Amino acid sequence: MSLPQLDPLANSNAEAAVARAHDGGCADRVLIAGGGIGGLSTALALAQRGIASHVLERRPAFHEEGAGIQLGPNGTRILQHLGVADALRARVGEPEALSVRDGASGAKLTRMPLGEWITARHGAPYWVAHRKDLHAVLADAARANPLISLSLGFGASQVASDDQRVCVASDAGEAHFGSALIAADGVWSGLRTKLIDDSKPRFSGKSAVRSVIAREELPADFLRNEVTIWLFPQAHVVHYPVSGGTELAIIVVLDDDRHDTDWSAAVAPDWVAQNMPACAAPLQALIRCAPAWKRWSLQSLPVPGEWTRGRIALLGDAAHPVMPFFAQGAVMALEDAVALADALALRPDNVPQALRSYQRMRRPRVVRVADASRNNGRIYHLGGASAVVRNLVLRYAPPERLMARYDWLYGWKAGDQV
């Protein structure tokens, strides 16, 4: 059976591969383009539902970069569901509190409870981890699962689909069949722009720089088991322990006019110090401790109206990149993964309908989170009289009440609509 072409991603070898491909009895598995956190979580969630998948990763080897990642109860609950929480537990931190400080003076504004308080409230812990540790645990679980196949060095160049199946071919002319294609290929998703929505991310005018500092190199002020946010006009800093408490991840967000697509551009240590607003002495000391910094431009993209086309769907940052002011980007991909697996399990004989159901379930939730993240960034970066009012609210509002405002976020469970 020939497959009608959708939109080629360009490459004559790939086009020929689609034309000559034969499914080899594998057309009932789900193809997943992207082997990051979202793609691997989707494969594991599908496997729990008895659905086979094939993860197609463009890189020749897994080398997940990045620094810290925060996993609220809505994320750690999913890791428990996927069966990887125990393997990750030794590599995470479980902070006792979220401390907010004025960046210029160092004054404490509030200290909101995490630790046992949030675990009791939501039935799952709040964890902080190194991104590479989370990715490694997911990759190990995927390799060990007989329902999951992995192909590295596979760059999708051609996609075609008919009423029964979808075919994806690579630059080298290798082709794979499946019942569906899930594009989990990140914020710069070529599959999104060529097949579903041609909107492209826009530079936000801000960049983030990250580093990881060994515990023995830390000033004494930074050995507390907590997440700390320092607020400035048009900037903020966040840090927390990772790697089982042996390191501290630090992220600095500030105005920047340099725009590129590199996730890990090296910057000189003095660049960070020179571009920071005037800040409290302890924070200055911490920034000087960082051995190396990596930078990435923060991209903004409205949540597309459509995430699906027939047997193809978007997931994670490919569908809805979220600004990093709410610590929910990776967790939204985890939520997508279990929602997608549930939708396909409920409608195994009608994949296009299942994918549309997945979009209907997820889009309102993601739009709300994206809006909240942008609002958080606005609040973090206030200056002048507005910052004074913000600081007064943080000082005098009960910390538990401040944290309870996020029950709608952290209380989410698979099957919830929003």
DSSP 8-state assignment for residue 226: E
Instruction: Tell me the longest C-alpha to C-alpha distance in the chain.
Output: 69
Pairing of strands 202-214, 226-232: unpaired
For the record, the structure tokens of 329 come out as: 């980007």
Q: Given 126, 240, 358, 410, which residue is catalytic?
A: 240
CA distance 341 to 51: 8
Task: Give residues with Cβ within 8 angstroms of 177, minimum separation 6.
Answer: 21, 22, 23, 24, 26, 27, 31, 165, 166, 167
Based on the residue annotation, tell me whether 126 is a catalytic residue of this protein. no
Distance CA 351, CA 181 (A): 10
Structure tokens given for 172: 């080298």
User: What does DSSP assign to residue 220?
Assistant: G
Query: H helices within 212-328, ranges in order?
Result: 269-275, 281-289
Amino acid at 373: S
Instruction: Evaluate whether 245 touches 215 at the Cβ level (below 8 Å).
Output: yes
In sequence order, the β-bridge partners of residue 132 are none
Output the CA angle 231-232-234, nearest 5 degrees: 120
- Strand ranges, E, within 35-86: 53-57, 68-71
Q: Which two tokens stand for residue 15?
A: 């086009």
**Which tokens in the block code for residue 188?**
């710069």
Q: What distance in Å separates the CA atoms of residue 202 and residue 333, rounded to the nearest whole number?
A: 21
Residue type (1 letter), 168: V
Rounded to whole angstroms, the Cα distance separating 240 from 106 reads 17
* Alpha-carbon span 172 to 60, nearest angstrom: 13
Residue 135's closest CA among 241, 246, 57? 57
Which one-letter DSSP state was computed for residue 352?
H
Where in 84-173 does DSSP place strands (E)? 97-102, 108-113, 127-130, 148-152, 156-161, 166-170
Please list the active-site residues.
Answer: 240
